[in-house]
Amino acid sequence: MQVKRFGVSLEEDILKSLDELVRNKKFPNRSQAIRYLIKSTLVEEKVDSNKTVAGAIVIVYDHHKRELNNKLMHVQHEYHDMILSTQHVHLEHDLCLETIAVMGKARLLLELADRIIGTKGIKHGKLVITDVK
């Protein structure tokens, strides 16, 4: 892929914010930070336009919670065509982390993630998505 150079004019306060982002995210330079911001915006637009995206739903939960595993399995079966794989890791005796790899229409992935993360007994959850092209 060929890289193109171009100039950008920014107000001083925005430039300071960009430099802070570079430091906080440990980007090697401003160009990498700008690439990150553009890509993030493009992924958000794909979600807004309901295009196909891929990602992962990550959840942490107590697997001893009554019927939680059955509820999670039921929801995953309802959306079986979007679930690519699942990885289950035991963090502690009672605490599990599950990563669910997904791909499909953005709105449906958001719906699936909301159903899983909103299930009673989930301690924490997050959907991370990216463009597939």
Full residue range of the structural domain in which residue 22 is found: 12-48
* Pair 83, 112 in one domain: yes
43 with 69, same domain: the answer is no
Does pLDDT of 133 surpass 80?
A: no
Q: In the prediction, which pLDDT does 74 show?
A: 95
Question: Residue 86: what pLDDT?
Answer: 96
What pLDDT digit, counting tens, does each position of 90-113 carry?
A: 999 999 999 999 999 999 999 999
- Residue 44 predicted with pLDDT over 90: no
Say if 123 falls within a structural domain: yes
Note whether 35 and 60 are same-domain residues.
Answer: no
Residues 31 and 86 placed together within one structural domain of the fold: no
Q: For residue 22, is it within any domain?
A: yes
Q: Looking at the 3D structure of the chain, how many domains does it have? A: 2
93: phi then psi, degrees, rounded to nearest 5: -55, -45
Angle subtended by helix axes 30-48 and 12-25, to nearest 10: 90
Cβ atoms 128, 55 nearer than 8 A: yes
Position 48 confidence tier, pLDDT thresholds 50, 70, 90: confident
pLDDT confidence of 66, banded at 50, 70, 90?
A: confident
Q: Is residue 60 located within the same domain as residue 34?
A: no
Q: Which of 14, 56, 55 is nearest to 37 (CA)?
A: 14
Per the domain annotation, does 101 fall within a domain? yes
pLDDT at 87 over 90: yes
Q: Residue 112 burial by CB count (10 A; 0-12/13-18/19+): exposed, middle or buried?
A: buried
